[in-house]
Amino acid sequence: MAVRTNATITSLSQPAYGYRSPVQTTSVQQPTMMPYGQPNINQSYTALAQAADRERQANMQRAAGRQNAVIGGYEQQIANTRLLGEQGYNQLQANYDQVAADAAATRARNMARVDQYGNSMRQDLDIRNRQALAAAQQSAIQRGLGNTTITDSLMRGQNFDNTRQRMSLEDQLLQNRIATDSQLSGVYQGALQNRAQALGSQMNQNIANENQLVGQKLGYIGGIQDDTQGFQTVADLYTQLYQMENANAQAQLDRELRNPGLYRGYGNVNRIGKARGAWG
């Protein structure tokens, strides 16, 4: 009978990250056996598991690339939306600033007209008052009362009338100025109020648009799930490989025990029930 040398079984390639094999995967020394009874590593299972693991990693890389592209798209949309919102807000602000400026200019212009009208009315009243004084003085002179007490009384009476008319005119001008200023100020204040409301509405719309995109982005990120199916496929292949090897090893031990003469006494009861990697 031919004598065989000890055969060494090298360790399998590393399985997927995080996977722990059910048996020890380091190199072990196999006992000498008959050719027809020696358990062999199924290389097709190993190659299949390694190929599945490579495919799993490639799928993960492709999925990560797609996810990054989608997330980058959301970020670009958010940036574009923010830019467009700021441009719209600035344009709206410029338009309403012009409206408010026009309202302020209109108010100033009309108030100047009111003041100019008041000055004209004062000048007209002064002219009429001087004419009235001159007429009263001329009348007194014609009646021979040029330097008498009666003339002085007539002049004081005319001056009193002039003063009363001036006060009445000032009251009238003040009321007209207040009414005009109130009306024009209302227009200006309305322009400012519309400006504030429009800008506030635009700002809220900008925030809502951006928040919607941010929410969609976060929802997409939250919905990303790890590809556990590919990992499970690799783990199942390695598990089947080790189970098959252990079953072959146990079958070999059974053959050794049943046929000790054929195996030169290598049937050792201490190996029964142990994984092949745990043989001493």
Which of 1-15, 160-174, 253-267 is most confident? 160-174
**Whole domain around residue 166: which residue ranges?**
88-225
d(CA 223, CA 214): 14
CB 29 within 8 A of CB 8: yes
What is the arithmetic mean of pLDDT over 194-221? Answer: 90
Angle between helices 228-258 and 43-142 (to 10 degrees): 160
Any domain includes 165:
yes
Is a pLDDT exceeding 60 seen at residue 37? no
User: Could you tell me where the beta strands, DSSP code E, fall in 112-212?
Assistant: none
Asked if the structure places residue 102 within a domain, the reply is: yes
To which residue do tokens 């004598």 refer? 3
Domain membership of residue 179 (yes or no) is yes
In angstroms, rounded to a whole number, what is the distance separating the alpha carbons of residues 138 and 156? Answer: 15
How are beta strands 28-30 and 7-9 bridged, if at all? antiparallel
**Token pair for 213:** 């995109």
| 11 lies in some domain | no
pTM: 0.49
Q: What's the rounded Cα separation, in Å, for the pair 37 and 263? A: 9
Residues 33-47: what's their mean pLDDT? 53
Measured CA to CA, the distance from residue 256 to residue 267 in angstroms comes to 4
The end-to-end CA distance of the chain, in Å, is: 25
Residue 212 binned pLDDT confidence (cut-offs 50, 70, 90): very high
- Establish if 80 belongs to a structural domain: no
* pLDDT tens digit sequence for 76-125: 999 999 999 999 889 988 888 888 888 888 888 888 888 888 888 888 88
Q: Write the CB contacts of 28 (distance below 8 Å, at least 6 apart in sequence).
A: 9, 276, 277, 279
With residue 28 as reference, give the H or E element that holds it: strand 28-30
Please count the structural domains in the chain.
1
- Residue 11 confidence (pLDDT) above 50: no
User: pLDDT class for 43, splitting at 50, 70, 90?
Assistant: low
pLDDT range class, residue 210, cuts 50, 70, 90: very high
More confident residue, 95 or 43: 95
Q: Which residues pair with 7 in a beta bridge?
A: 30
Q: ∠ CA 21-273-245 to the nearest 5 degrees?
A: 45
Q: For the residues 172-200, what does the mean pLDDT come to?
A: 85
In this structure, what DSSP letter does residue 35 have? G
Determine the average pLDDT of the residues in 213-218: 91
**Does residue 217 lie within any of the structural domains?**
yes
pLDDT tens for residues 128-155?
888 877 777 777 777 766 666 766 676 7
Q: Per the domain annotation, does 236 fall within a domain?
A: no
Residue (of 33, 107, 18, 77) closest to 279 by Cα position: 33
Which residues neighbour 78 within 8 Å (Cβ) at sequence distance 6 or greater? 210, 213, 214, 217
Percent of the residues in the chain that have a pLDDT greater than 70, as a whole number: 74
Q: Is residue 279 situated within a structural domain?
A: no
Mean per-residue pLDDT of the chain? 75
Q: In sequence order, what are the residues at sequence separation of 6 or more whose Cβ sits closer than 8 angstroms to the Cβ of residue 82? A: 206, 210
Q: Provide the 10 A C-beta neighbour count for residue 12.
A: 19
Structure tokens that stand for 235 in this block: 């783990």
Rounded to the nearest 10 degrees, the angle between the axes of helix 43-142 and helix 149-222 is 170
pLDDT tens digits, 253-279? 888 888 877 766 544 445 544 444 444
